[in-house]
Amino acid sequence: MRVLPRLAASSAVLASAAFSMGASAWEVEQSDDPIVHDAARASLLTLGTNHGARLLTEDIRTLQGLNAAVDGKGLTLLTTVEKLNQAISDLDARVDETEISIVLSSDILFDFDKADIKSTAEHELMMLGMIIREKRTGNVTIIGHTDAKGSEAYNISLSQRRATSVKNWLVQHAQIDAEVINTEGLGETRPIAPNVNADGSDDVDGRTKNRRVDIMIQTREPFE
Tell me the per-residue pLDDT of 105-144, one tens digit each, with 9 for 90 and over: 999 999 999 999 999 999 999 999 999 999 999 999 999 9
Select the more confidently predicted residue: 25 or 164: 164
Phi, psi of 132 (to 5 degrees): -65, -45
> What are the DSSP E strand ranges found in 152-203?
181-185
Q: Which of 208, 215, 103 is nearest to 147 (CA)?
A: 208
d(CA 216, CA 214): 7
Q: How confident is the model at residue 221 (pLDDT cuts 50, 70, 90)?
A: confident
pTM: 0.66
* Portion of the chain with pLDDT greater than 70, in percent: 63
Task: State whether residue 216 is helix, strand or coil.
Answer: strand
Q: How many residues does the chain have?
A: 224
Residues 7-21 have a mean pLDDT of 43
50-71 pLDDT tens trace? 444 444 444 444 444 444 444 5
* 218 vs 10, higher pLDDT: 218
CA 53 vs CA 6, 17, 46, 177, 215: distances in Å: 9, 18, 12, 40, 45
What percent of the chain lies above the pLDDT cut of 90?
61
Q: What is the pLDDT of residue 105?
A: 98
Cα–Cα–Cα angle for 200, 201, 204, rounded to 5 degrees: 130
- Which residues make beta-bridge pairs with 216? 101, 141
